[in-house]
């Protein structure tokens, strides 16, 4: 079996930072904050976060902060959004520099996006999605500010998006999708509300995402894709049903999606690599206890040693 | 990025890419520039808006660009009252969205922009255009969930009746049986119509029967596709939901006579906890169990003072199992007589099914008596002898155990309180799937196994044992086949099988008696325990049917393959538990033990605790990681002083500090080193025996 090309992947992550002018890099420009999180989290799991200049990263992150609203944008000059606010907070947690934040302002931004029914808007324009419920809950939990929102209502809204197949959709009635399931299961985990889930029913739906090539897909009758190694696997772990899939086959699938020459991991074997799939591939391997990797927490999508700092401050 | 091949670019492509890139870069920087000028001048030139349109046409994912459009739209709207002008502003936005969707039909930003425009309620919506757009999109990709979500949005805006949409879903399923999205849509519409008792949908059973017919057609056409099977499972769940809430077992059992005693002698059921549980186990998850929905009448206690708690405890206070504790602060005042305690559950409608919302409950009373063994009122803790699990052998059954077994199953007749339709449907489905069944189709087999399990649950206790045994064997064989047929999910089938095994060994007196051991011989000289159950070496991976074991005080589950003990919290009398030689991976997986206040003896040796960095039980129970347990500062400091590494041992600390164990066996786990023993002696001040050695 192929091995994980740790050094190549580190080189790959470091190289994409420099390559800013290609078309692909430019289409990602608006979500550079997410990209930074994927890249840095990968480096940390690979035990190599020291290779980046932390001060540079932090000052760039803070230049994406919108003082007026308290939220973070995807890049300098863009508008703030929950998606990027969570990534920014996750990166600062990863670098153990949460102290730089105006926690009051950031949590005010997040809590201000909660609606009366408990749901969350992504930003001031009001798009509602359970993805944003996760972003808000995860972000506030990291900042120890969950008391700023109505957690019970937030949980009720997520539960209202539960389907008869045990999974969750974007909004009530929306089809179950592994990415969405991660968000809902993650939010319920963080708030200690997993009892709302029928673990056997959802676990079966999730384990049936393993395709004959060993990879995982996001919905029934779909192709496998490395990113679901994260969405499906983390959800299965949170509900204690991860033993229902064949980890050996999945490990092989992920390793087969590596670009062994230039580093990086792609969605499927022999496709073009990107930082998103590189992160989810490496994170998936970490969830399967691949040797030499830091263990990642399935709910916070951060290494366990980082997450433990939220509960047990030094 | 999905589906892009990994190959070096050709020179021509590279040149084109560079050109595209510089165009994109130019547009992006212009947008950001214009977006910021907006703040200074509140001015939106046509040129700036057109730059934004061009940008979104190339990259519809840029939120800030959509935001810019929304600002501009609001600004322009402010400037005009002319309805024609407003309509053209709206049309412009819709056109940009359509162009963006052509580039990326899964763009969140584009879809939301369209919804946002319509939500302003400014112009009449051309619904034909919207449904045409949807038809085109779903034709191109019938699984695009953005499209489906948009369909919900538009049909709500237009007030399309659900039955009409249900018809649409039928047509779509007929054209493509493997379209899970349509099946899903159908399940949502149908359950909404049924729950609202909409016109034409009063008759739940008739409607569900028709749905079965519909899904049969689909399965007959292509039984290899998953979608139809998932829908079938969804129907099955709706079929087997019990109509009525009923109590299926309790502790103490009906008509039982309990003698309380403190130390060794003839009495039962008492330790120095000075409390006695009353456990209620319902046929489904319920809420609303409290001192007004369940009345406990006795001369010993005030009913209003009893607090009912769900097991396991959850924030939403829902559970199938509920417990309250009768406290005995001072027994010296008791008279030498037999006290009658009566438990009454009536029609109060206060108890609500948390799955169906039904308030219909089968009224029930049960009673038991309490008396005190007067000779032993000193609450001395008599357990300082080492309990040797190897003494546990099946030495014949003590009659008391089986009496408990019978009585704890309160309402056998109610268990078979399923309607004729439910039983007929399940039997019909079994026959049908058996005839439909093709060689080696895993969904056939799995569905059949699930149907047989459902059927088994509906059998009345009058059903001959042999018939049940045949059922059990059939299901177990199906799961064995499935393990071979679909090895990557073998652990799923093993877990399902484990529940069948638990069912098999606990369903009647005879099979039960093979697993009950005589308590008198080995335990009674040390502890006053009489409910002993031995489930050794059965390949159990998890436990189930705990409602049949409420009376068990000594439970031997050693030499199984248990990964989880969820459910064990219902066994409120459990005093000695043997989990030796199982596959428990973490201390968090043992958290349910914290709810067992009688537990004194625990053997978790020869497990996998500490062997895995990933803790799959981390978020299941109350703990610091679910923000439901805060470790207080003083406590943390105390541990820090004793040089215990809290961060790496909080799972163990959180578990053991809430247990009052006398005897613990933890050897042969990855964690069991010297430091860990120190931690244990600190966390467990009551501990006398650790790994067979006397501590204190």
For chain A, give the longest Cα–Cα distance.
52
Q: Which residues of chain A does B178 touch, with a Cβ-Cβ cutoff of 8 Å?
A: 221
Contact B3 A312 (CB under 8 A): no
Contact B563 A243 (CB under 8 A): yes
Helix, strand or coil, per DSSP, at residue A132: helix
Rounded CA-CA distance B676/A216 in Å is 39
**pLDDT at res. B160:** 95
Band (pLDDT 50/70/90 cuts) for residue B396 is: very low
Band (pLDDT 50/70/90 cuts) for residue B374 is: low
Contact A221 B620 (CB under 8 A): no
Is B237 an 8 Å CB contact of chain A? yes
The mean-pLDDT minimum among A50-54, B62-66, B311-315, B353-357 falls in: B353-357
- For the stretch B109-114, contacts whose Cβ atoms lie closer than 8 Å and that sit 24 or more positions apart, written own/partner, are B109/B60, B109/B61, B109/B62, B109/B63, B109/B65, B109/B66, B110/B56, B110/B60, B110/B66, B111/B146, B111/B149, B111/B150, B112/A125, B112/A127, B112/B66, B113/B66, B113/B69, B113/B70, B114/B150
Digit-coded pLDDT (tens) for B2-46: 778 887 667 777 788 888 888 999 999 999 999 988 877 767 889
Chain centre to alpha carbon of residue B85: 54
Q: Find the mean pLDDT for residues B356-361.
A: 82
* Same structural domain, B528 and B637: yes
* Same structural domain, B499 and B523: no
Residue B522 has pLDDT above 80, yes or no: no
Contact B620 A194 (CB under 8 A): yes
Per-residue tokens: B642: 């004793």
Residue B643 has pLDDT above 60, yes or no: yes
Digit-coded pLDDT (tens) for B463-481: 788 888 888 999 999 999 9
- Does any domain span residue A178? yes
Last residue of a domain, one of B347, B382, B417: B382
Greatest mean pLDDT among A224-228, B246-250, B534-538, B654-658 lies in A224-228
* Same structural domain, B472 and B537: no
Contact B612 A289 (CB under 8 A): yes
Strand partners, B260: B268, B372
Please report the DSSP string for B38-98 in residue order. Answer: HHHH----HHHHHHHHHHHHH-TT-HHHHHHHHHHHHHHHHT---HHHHHHHHHHHHHHHH
Cis before residue B29, ω within 30 degrees of 0?
no
Strand partners, A271: B5
Band (pLDDT 50/70/90 cuts) for residue B527 is: very low
Is B74 an 8 Å CB contact of chain A? no
Chain centre to alpha carbon of residue B224: 28
Is B181 an 8 Å CB contact of chain A? yes
- Does any domain span residue A27? yes
Q: Which candidate from B64, B143, B179 shows the least CB-CB separation from A30?
A: B64
- Does any domain span residue A1? no
CA-based nearest distance B303→chain A, Å? 29
Residue B399 has pLDDT above 50, yes or no: no
* Same structural domain, B479 and B531: no
Q: Taking phi first (over 0 means left), then psi (-120 to 50 degrees means alpha), and beta for anything else, what does residue B42 get?
A: left
CA dihedral angle for residue B679, residue B684, residue B689, residue B690, rounded to 10 degrees: -30
Q: Which residues of chain B does A190 touch, with a Cβ-Cβ cutoff of 8 Å?
A: 619, 626-627
Q: Find the mean pLDDT for residues B265-278.
A: 62
Mean pLDDT, all residues of chain B? 85
Distant-in-sequence, close-in-space partners of B226: CB < 8 Å, separation ≥ 6: A208, A220, A221, B178, B180, B443
- pLDDT > 70 in chain B, percent: 87
Q: Find the mean pLDDT for residues B107-126.
A: 94
**pLDDT at res. B408:** 52
Under a CB-based contact definition with an 8 Å cutoff, are residues B638 and B653 in contact?
A: no
Q: Which residues of chain B does A304 touch, with a Cβ-Cβ cutoff of 8 Å?
A: 613
**pLDDT at res. B466:** 85
**pLDDT at res. B268:** 47
E strands in chain A: 265-266, 273-274
Band (pLDDT 50/70/90 cuts) for residue A268 is: very high
Under a CB-based contact definition with an 8 Å cutoff, are residues A225 and A257 in contact?
A: no
Stated length of chain B: 696
Is B185 an 8 Å CB contact of chain A? yes
**pLDDT at res. B331:** 66
Q: List the domain range (segments joined by +) for residue B583.
A: 512-694
**pLDDT at res. B521:** 41
Instruction: Give the nearest chain A residue to B187 (CA atoms).
Output: A164
Residue A4 has pLDDT above 60, yes or no: yes
Strand partners, B251: B279
Under a CB-based contact definition with an 8 Å cutoff, are residues A76 and A47 in contact?
A: no
**pLDDT at res. B414:** 47
The mean-pLDDT minimum among A184-193, B175-184, B186-195, B249-258 falls in: B249-258
- DSSP letter (8 states) at residue B437: P
- Does any domain span residue A118? yes
Backbone φ, ψ for residue A198 (5° rounding): -85, 100
- DSSP letter (8 states) at residue B568: G
Contact A244 B1 (CB under 8 A): no
Helix, strand or coil, per DSSP, at residue B530: coil
Q: Which residues of chain A does B25 touch, with a Cβ-Cβ cutoff of 8 Å?
A: 21, 26
Contact B312 A195 (CB under 8 A): yes
Band (pLDDT 50/70/90 cuts) for residue B410 is: low
Q: Find the mean pLDDT for residues B683-690.
A: 91
Under a CB-based contact definition with an 8 Å cutoff, are residues B56 and B29 in contact?
A: no
Please report the DSSP string for A180-209 in residue order. Answer: HHHHHHHHHHHTT-GGGS-HHHHHHHHHTT
* Same structural domain, B527 and B609: yes
Last residue of a domain, one of B100, B124, B148: B124
Give me the sign of the Cα torsion angle B513, B517, B519, B520. positive
CATH number at residue B341: 2.60.40
**pLDDT at res. B524:** 40
- Please state, in angstroms and as integers, the Cα–Cα distance from residue B608 to each residue in A241, B470, B567, B613, B667, following that order: 17, 36, 20, 11, 11
Greatest mean pLDDT among B393-397, B652-656, B673-677 lies in B652-656
Under a CB-based contact definition with an 8 Å cutoff, are residues A118 and A153 in contact?
A: yes
Backbone φ, ψ for residue B25 (5° rounding): -60, -45
- Does any domain span residue A132? yes
- Does any domain span residue B422? no
The mean-pLDDT minimum among B85-94, B104-113, B215-224, B377-386 falls in: B377-386
Strands B364-372 and B256-260 come out as parallel
Digit-coded pLDDT (tens) for A38-47: 999 999 999 9
E strands in A59-208: none
Q: Find the mean pLDDT for residues A276-305.
A: 97
Digit-coded pLDDT (tens) for B447-463: 999 999 999 888 877 77
Rounded CA-CA distance B575/B659 in Å is 11
Domain count, chain A: 1
**pLDDT at res. B377:** 47
Q: Which residues of chain A does B2 touch, with a Cβ-Cβ cutoff of 8 Å?
A: 225, 267, 271
- Please state, in angstroms and as integers, the Cα–Cα distance from residue B182 to each residue in B170, B437, B527, following that order: 8, 25, 61
* Same structural domain, B177 and B284: no
Residue B272 has pLDDT above 70, yes or no: no
CATH number at residue A140: 1.50.10.20
**pLDDT at res. A76:** 95
Query: Which site among B627, B629, B644 would you substitute to test the A interface, given the most A Cβ atoms closer than 10 Å to its Cβ?
Result: B627
Band (pLDDT 50/70/90 cuts) for residue B394 is: very low
Rounded CA-CA distance A93/B343 in Å is 53
Rounded CA-CA distance B299/B152 in Å is 59
Under a CB-based contact definition with an 8 Å cutoff, are residues B394 and B278 in contact?
A: no
Rounded CA-CA distance B281/B524 in Å is 28
Band (pLDDT 50/70/90 cuts) for residue B406 is: low
Rounded CA-CA distance B546/B533 in Å is 12
Digit-coded pLDDT (tens) for A137-171: 999 999 999 999 999 999 999 999 999 999 999 99
Band (pLDDT 50/70/90 cuts) for residue B315 is: confident
Q: Find the mean pLDDT for residues A295-305.
A: 96
- Please state, in angstroms and as integers, the Cα–Cα distance from residue B221 to each residue in B129, B174, B214, B429, following that order: 34, 10, 11, 17
Residue A293 has pLDDT above 90, yes or no: yes
Stated length of chain A: 314
Per-residue tokens: B325: 């504790």
Residue B416 has pLDDT above 70, yes or no: no
Rounded CA-CA distance B242/B284 in Å is 8
Rounded to 5, what percent of chain A is helix, strand, coil? 55, 5, 40
The mean-pLDDT minimum among A257-271, B53-67, B350-364, B476-490 falls in: B350-364
**pLDDT at res. B379:** 44
- Does any domain span residue A222? yes
Is B61 an 8 Å CB contact of chain A? yes
Distant-in-sequence, close-in-space partners of A272: CB < 8 Å, separation ≥ 6: A266, B1, B4, B5, B6, B7
Rounded CA-CA distance B52/B47 in Å is 9
Q: Which residue has the higher pLDDT, B388 or B393?
A: B388
* Same structural domain, B569 and B659: yes
Contact B314 A195 (CB under 8 A): yes
Q: Find the mean pLDDT for residues B205-232.
A: 87
Q: Which candidate from B6, B488, B613 shows the least CB-CB separation from A259?
A: B6
Report the 10 Å Cβ neighbour count for B149: 19
CA angle, residues A24, A5, A255, in degrees to nearest 5? 80
Last residue of a domain, one of B235, B255, B282: B235
Domain count, chain B: 5
* Same structural domain, B664 and B637: yes
Rounded to 5, what percent of chain B is helix, strand, coil? 50, 10, 40
**pLDDT at res. A314:** 62
Residue B413 has pLDDT above 60, yes or no: no
Rounded CA-CA distance B606/B599 in Å is 20
Q: Which residue has the higher pLDDT, B256 or A77?
A: A77
**pLDDT at res. B273:** 63
Residue B457, CA atoms < 13 Å, CB-side half-sphere: 18
The mean-pLDDT minimum among A24-28, A72-76, A284-288, B192-196 falls in: A24-28
Mean pLDDT, all residues of chain A? 95
- Does any domain span residue B690? yes
* Same structural domain, B478 and B549: no
Under a CB-based contact definition with an 8 Å cutoff, are residues B359 and B351 in contact?
A: yes
Contact B626 A190 (CB under 8 A): yes
* Same structural domain, B493 and B520: no
- Does any domain span residue B475? yes
**pLDDT at res. B136:** 92
Q: List the domain range (segments joined by +) for residue A80.
A: 6-311
CA-based nearest distance B12→chain A, Å? 15
Cis before residue B89, ω within 30 degrees of 0?
no
Residue B411 has pLDDT above 90, yes or no: no
**pLDDT at res. B674:** 82
Residue B586 has pLDDT above 70, yes or no: yes
CA-based nearest distance B255→chain A, Å? 34
Residue B403 has pLDDT above 70, yes or no: no
**pLDDT at res. B264:** 45
Strand partners, B281: B249, B321
* Same structural domain, B519 and B621: yes
Contact A193 B316 (CB under 8 A): yes
Q: Which candidate from A29, A163, A271 shows the least CB-CB separation from B4?
A: A271
**pLDDT at res. B380:** 45
Q: Find the mean pLDDT for residues B574-592.
A: 95
CA-based nearest distance B512→chain A, Å? 27
Backbone φ, ψ for residue B397 (5° rounding): -100, 135
* Same structural domain, B517 and B496: no
């Amino acid at each position: 079996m192929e091995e994980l090309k740790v050094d190549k992947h580190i080189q790959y992550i470091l190289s994409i930072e420099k390559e800013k002018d290609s078309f692909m890099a430019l289409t990602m420009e608006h979500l550079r904050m997410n990209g930074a999180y994927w890249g840095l989290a990968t480096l940390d799991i690979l035990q190599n976060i020291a290779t980046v200049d932390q001060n540079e990263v932090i000052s760039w992150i803070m230049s994406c902060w919108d003082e007026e609203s308290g939220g973070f944008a995807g890049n300098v000059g863009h508008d703030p959004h929950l998606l990027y606010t969570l990534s920014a907070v996750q990166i600062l947690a990863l670098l153990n520099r949460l102290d730089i934040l105006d926690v009051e302002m950031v949590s005010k931004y997040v809590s201000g996006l909660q609606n009366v029914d408990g749901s969350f808007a992504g930003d001031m324009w009001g798009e509602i999605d359970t993805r944003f419920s996760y972003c808000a809950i995860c972000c506030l939990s990291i900042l120890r500010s969950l008391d700023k929102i109505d957690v019970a209502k937030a949980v009720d809204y997520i539960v209202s998006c539960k389907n008869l197949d045990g999974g969750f959709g974007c909004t009530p009635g929306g089809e179950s999708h592994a990415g969405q399931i991660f968000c809902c299961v993650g939010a319920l985990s963080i708030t200690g509300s997993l009892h709302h889930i029928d673990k056997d029913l959802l676990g079966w739906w999730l384990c049936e995402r393993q395709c004959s090539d060993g990879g995982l897909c996001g919905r029934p009758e779909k192709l496998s894709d490395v990113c679901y190694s994260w969405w499906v696997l983390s959800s299965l772990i949170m509900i204690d049903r991860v033993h229902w899939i064949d980890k050996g086959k999945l490990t092989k699938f992920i390793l087969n999606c590596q670009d062994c020459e230039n580093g990086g991991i792609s969605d499927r074997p022999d496709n073009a690599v990107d930082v998103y799939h590189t992160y989810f591939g490496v994170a998936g391997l970490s969830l399967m206890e691949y040797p030499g990797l830091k263990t990642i927490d399935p709910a916070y999508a951060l290494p366990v040693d980082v997450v433990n700092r939220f509960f047990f401050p030094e | 990025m999905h589906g892009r091949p990994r190959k070096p670019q050709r020179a021509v492509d590279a040149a084109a890419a560079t050109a595209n890139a510089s165009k994109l870069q130019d547009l992006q920087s212009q947008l950001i520039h214009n977006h910021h000028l907006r703040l200074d001048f509140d001015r939106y030139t046509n040129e700036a808006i057109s730059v934004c349109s061009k940008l979104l046409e190339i990259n519809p994912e840029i939120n800030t660009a959509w935001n810019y459009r929304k600002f501009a739209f609001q600004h322009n709207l402010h400037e005009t009252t002319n309805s024609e002008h407003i309509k053209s502003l709206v049309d412009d936005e819709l056109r940009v969205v359509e162009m963006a969707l052509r580039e990326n039909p899964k763009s969140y930003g584009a879809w939301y922009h369209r919804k946002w425009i319509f939500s302003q309620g400014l112009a009449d919506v051309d619904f034909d255009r919207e449904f045409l757009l949807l038809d085109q999109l779903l034709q191109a990709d019938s699984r695009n969930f953005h499209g489906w979500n948009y369909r919900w949005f538009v049909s709500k805006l237009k007030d399309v009746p659900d039955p009409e949409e249900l018809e649409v879903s039928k047509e779509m399923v007929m054209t493509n049986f493997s379209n899970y999205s349509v099946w899903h849509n159908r399940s949502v519409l149908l359950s909404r119509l049924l729950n609202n008792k909409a016109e034409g949908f009063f008759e739940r059973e008739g409607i569900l029967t028709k749905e079965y017919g519909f899904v049969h057609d689909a399965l007959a056409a292509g039984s290899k596709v998953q979608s139809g099977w998932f829908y079938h499972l969804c129907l099955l769940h709706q079929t087997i939901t019990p109509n009525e809430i009923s109590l299926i077992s309790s502790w103490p059992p009906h008509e039982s006579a309990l003698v309380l005693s403190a130390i060794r002698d003839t009495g039962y059921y008492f330790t120095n906890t000075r409390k006695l549980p009353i456990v209620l186990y319902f046929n489904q998850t319920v809420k609303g169990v409290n001192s007004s929905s369940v009345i406990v009448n006795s001369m010993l206690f005030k009913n209003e003072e009893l607090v009912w708690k769900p097991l396991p405890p959850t924030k939403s206070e829902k559970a199938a199992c509920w417990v309250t504790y009768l406290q005995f602060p001072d027994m010296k005042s008791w008279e030498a007589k037999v006290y009658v305690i009566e438990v009454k559950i009536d029609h109060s409608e206060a108890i609500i099914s948390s799955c169906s919302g039904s308030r219909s409950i089968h009224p029930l009373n049960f009673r038991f008596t309490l008396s005190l063994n007067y000779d032993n009122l000193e609450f001395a803790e008599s357990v300082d002898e080492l309990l040797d699990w190897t003494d546990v052998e099946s030495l014949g059954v003590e009659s008391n155990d089986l009496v408990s077994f019978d009585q704890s199953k309160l309402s056998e007749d109610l268990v078979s309180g399923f309607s004729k339709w439910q039983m007929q449907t399940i039997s019909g489905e079994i026959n049908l799937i058996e005839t439909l069944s093709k060689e080696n189709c895993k969904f056939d087999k799995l569905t059949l196994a699930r149907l047989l399990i459902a059927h088994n649950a509906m059998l009345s206790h009058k059903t001959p044992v042999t018939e049940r045994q045949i059922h059990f064997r059939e299901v177990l064989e199906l799961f064995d086949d499935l393990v071979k047929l679909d090895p990557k999910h073998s652990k799923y089938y093993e877990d399902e099988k484990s529940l069948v095994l638990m069912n098999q060994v606990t369903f009647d007196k005879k099979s039960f008696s093979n697993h009950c051991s005589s308590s008198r011989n080995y335990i009674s000289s040390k502890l006053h325990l009489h409910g002993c159950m031995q489930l050794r070496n059965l390949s159990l991976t998890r436990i189930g049917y705990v409602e049949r074991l409420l009376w068990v005080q000594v439970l031997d589950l050693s030499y199984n393959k248990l990964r989880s003990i969820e459910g064990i919290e219902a066994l409120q009398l459990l005093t000695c538990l043997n989990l030796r030689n199982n596959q428990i991976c973490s201390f968090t997986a043992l958290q349910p033990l914290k709810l067992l206040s009688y537990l004194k003896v625990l053997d978790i040796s020869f497990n996998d605790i500490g062997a895995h960095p990933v803790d799959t039980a981390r978020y299941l129970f109350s703990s610091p990681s679910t923000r439901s347990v805060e470790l207080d500062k003083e406590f943390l400091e105390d541990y820090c002083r004793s040089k215990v590494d809290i961060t790496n041992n909080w799972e163990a600390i959180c578990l053991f500090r809430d247990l009052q164990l006398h005897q613990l066996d933890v050897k042969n786990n990855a964690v069991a080193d010297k430091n860990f023993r120190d931690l244990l002696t600190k966390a467990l001040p009551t501990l006398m025996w650790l790994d067979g050695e006397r501590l204190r």
